[in-house]
Amino acid sequence: MKLLVTRQLTPAVEAKAAAEFDVTFRNGAVPMTEEEAHAALQGYDALLVTLGDKVTAQALQGDLRARIVSNFGVGYNHIDAAAAKARGIVVTNTPGAVTDATADVAMTLLLMSARRAGAGERYVRSGAWTGWTPTQFLGQHVTGKTVGIIGLGRIGAAIARRCHFGFGMQVLYYNRSAKEAGFPARQVTLDALLAASDFVVVAVPAAPETHHLIGAAEFARMQAHAHFINIARGDIVDEPALIATLEAGRIAGAGLDVFEKEPFVPEALRRLENVTLLPHLGTAALEVRDAMGFMALDNLIAFRDGQMPPNAI
């Protein structure tokens, strides 16, 4: 089975891939273009792709050799799964492996935004700090506050657990269906969540129905002291609307691990002091990236061996 791995993975994952398949490591510094993806689908039995690789409907046209696309990651909005299915191509992802790591980064951003940690760290590095004062970099308390989580799937539920058990926070959530969290968590409408929450966390998957789910109208419903956190996908948020909201001081701050046109981050966003920016660190821990890679390979191995991949989409 001829496999293309589109980006550099951890040594352990690459070693297993080499042992199991006739593998080519592209190791590209940037994601595959639509044209590159089309050529790969024509030349390989299987692709192991990741964030940004453009496996679009156009790339899936024509005479294709590939029969499976294994995604390294849980989000797969860079793959046209419906077009792949129509061509008889199986698409898989890696749920579960990313849950706790991504929830941890959500809490990192929530705390950094609330306590102005990014601005404080930059201040120390600048050499301008002259010592502790009672009113310097006053942020907001987190313990006992209300968090609103948009999307209570695996990752949203993991964030909710951390907020409830770690910080005694009241948990509100917006979700298509009610969920049993195992602790007090109240399902509300999106408008009610935005109006009542001290911290709003986005944890829904990227899909056509969630594109720009959060825009100017939604930011206008948030409280002036509230913080907005996004660890999901950048295009769920209308980025210009977020920038305008932060520039006007209509909310207290934001913490972002994802961006609408990643890796492009607008200068207007970069120069704001009331936003914490991370370079998509959600799953950036060695053991997590190993687990993701092994899960992606397990999907490929099952398919190769005539079995249904455990994480087929």
Catalytic-residue membership of 180: no
Of 78, 104, 98, the closest CA to residue 201 belongs to 104
Choose the catalytic residue: 233, 239, 260, 289.
Answer: 233
Structure tokens, 28 = 């590209």
Catalytic-residue membership of 280: yes
Distance CA 254, CA 229 (A): 6
b/e map 256-271, b = 16+ CB within 10 Å: bbbbbeeeebeeebee
Q: What are phi and psi of 169, to 5 degrees?
A: -85, 150
Catalytic-residue membership of 267: no
Of 306, 232, 300, the closest CA to residue 72 belongs to 300
Q: What are phi and psi of 59, to 5 degrees?
A: -65, -25
> What positions carry a catalytic annotation?
233, 262, 280
